[in-house]
Amino acid sequence: MSESGSGSENPLEGLGGFGGMDLGALMQQAQAMQDQMVSAQERLAETTVEGTVAGGSVTVTVSGVGELVGVEIRQGEFDGNDPDELEDLAALIVAAYRDGKAKADALASQVFGPISGQLGQGLTGFGG
């Protein structure tokens, strides 16, 4: 078997460390992005959106992270003694939640979009 003529055991050494990248700077960038993610998650958890169906007969409040935090049913819209109306009400609550969850997901995309874009930019040239 032949030995390498460089005498070095690190094949990336000639490239200035880890593929020419400053690992300290990369770690700082990763920590900053992690801090941004935590901050964004906290903001989302404190933010609410509403989902509404049937002209406002049923409105739900959903947190920015998708948690159902409230349900409002317009008074006089449903007869609590009629099984068919209660079944309709249940379906409307589900539909209102889906509407609110879609809004929460769109909000999360807006909040996390810039952060995930930074992640993609931070890794350009990595391993390539």
pLDDT at 116: 66
More confident residue, 115 or 7: 115
- For 57-96, the pLDDT digits (tens) are 999 999 999 999 999 999 998 998 999 999 999 999 999 9
**8 in a domain, yes or no?**
no
| Residue 88 lies in domain | 37-122
**24 in a domain, yes or no?**
no
Question: Is residue 126 scored above 90 in pLDDT?
Answer: no
How much is the pTM? 0.67
Tokens standing for residue 24: 């300290």
Counted domains in the chain: 1
Tokens standing for residue 40: 């964004």
Instruction: Give the span between the Cα atoms of 77 and 73, in whole angstroms.
Output: 8
Q: Are 79 and 7 in contact (CB under 8 A)?
A: no
**95 in a domain, yes or no?**
yes
pLDDT at 63: 95
- For 41-59, the pLDDT digits (tens) are 898 889 999 999 999 999 9
